[in-house]
A = this chain, B = another copy of it.
Amino acid sequence: MIKAGIIGSTGYAGAEIARLLTGHRDVEIKWLVSRSYAGMDYADVFGNMFELIDKECADISLEEMAGGVDVIFTATPQGYLQTTLTKDCLEKCRIIDLSADYRIKDVGIYEKWYGIKHESPDLLQEAVYGLTEVNRDKIKNTRLLANPGCYTTCSILTAYPLMKEHMIEKNSLVINAMSGVSGAGRGGKVANLFCEVNESAKAYGVTTHRHTPEIEEQLGYAFGEDLMVQFTPHLVPMHRGILATEVARPSGTYTYDEIKAAYDKYYGSEHFIRVLKKDRCPETRFVEGSNYMDVNFKIDDRTGNLILMGALDNLEKGAASQAVQNFNVMFGFDEKEGIDMIPQMP
- A48 and B190 form a contact (CB under 8 A): no
- B12 and A195 form a contact (CB under 8 A): yes
Chain B residues, Cβ within 8 Å of A52: 342
Q: Which residue of B lies closest to A200 (CB)?
A: B285
Q: How distant is the Cα of A288 from the Cα of B239 in the complex, in angstroms? A: 13
- A236 and B237 form a contact (CB under 8 A): yes
- B195 and A181 form a contact (CB under 8 A): yes
Q: How distant is the Cα of A219 from the Cα of B282 in the complex, in angstroms? A: 30
Chain B residues, Cβ within 8 Å of A176: 176, 232, 245
Q: How distant is the Cα of A187 from the Cα of B191 in the complex, in angstroms? A: 10
Is A241's CB within 8 Å of the partner chain B?
Answer: yes
Q: How distant is the Cα of A182 from the Cα of B307 in the complex, in angstroms? A: 25
Chain B residues, Cβ within 8 Å of A171: 303
- B241 and A207 form a contact (CB under 8 A): no
* 265-304 of chain A: CB within 8 A of chain B: 274, 276-277, 280-290, 294, 298-303
- A50 in complex: contacting residue of B174, B196, B274, CB < 8 Å: B274
- A247 and B276 form a contact (CB under 8 A): no
Chain B residues, Cβ within 8 Å of A307: 203, 206-207, 230, 232
Chain B residues, Cβ within 8 Å of A283: 47, 200-202
Say how far A63's CB is from chain B's closest CB, in angstroms: 29
Say how far A15's CB is from chain B's closest CB, in angstroms: 7
- A236 in complex: contacting residue of B186, B187, B236, B302, CB < 8 Å: B236
Is A346's CB within 8 Å of the partner chain B?
Answer: yes
Chain B residues, Cβ within 8 Å of A280: 47
Known: A178-B178, A178-B236, A193-B193. A241 touches B346 (CB 8 A): no
A25-36: contact bitstring with B at CB < 8 Å (1 yes, 0 no)? 000000000000
Is A243's CB within 8 Å of the partner chain B?
Answer: yes
Is A1's CB within 8 Å of the partner chain B?
Answer: no
- B199 and A346 form a contact (CB under 8 A): yes
Known: A188-B189, A206-B298. A201 touches B243 (CB 8 A): yes
Chain B residues, Cβ within 8 Å of A19: 342, 344
- B243 and A204 form a contact (CB under 8 A): no
- A199 in complex: contacting residue of B22, B199, B294, B298, CB < 8 Å: B199
- A232 in complex: contacting residue of B47, B239, B245, B294, CB < 8 Å: B245
- A202 and B282 form a contact (CB under 8 A): yes
A213-233: contact bitstring with B at CB < 8 Å (1 yes, 0 no)? 000000000000000111010
Residues of A within 8 A of B (CB): 12, 15, 19, 22-23, 44, 46-52, 171, 174, 176, 178, 180-182, 186-190, 192-204, 206-207, 228-230, 232, 234, 236-241, 243, 245, 247, 274, 276-277, 280-290, 294, 298-303, 305, 307, 309, 311, 340-346
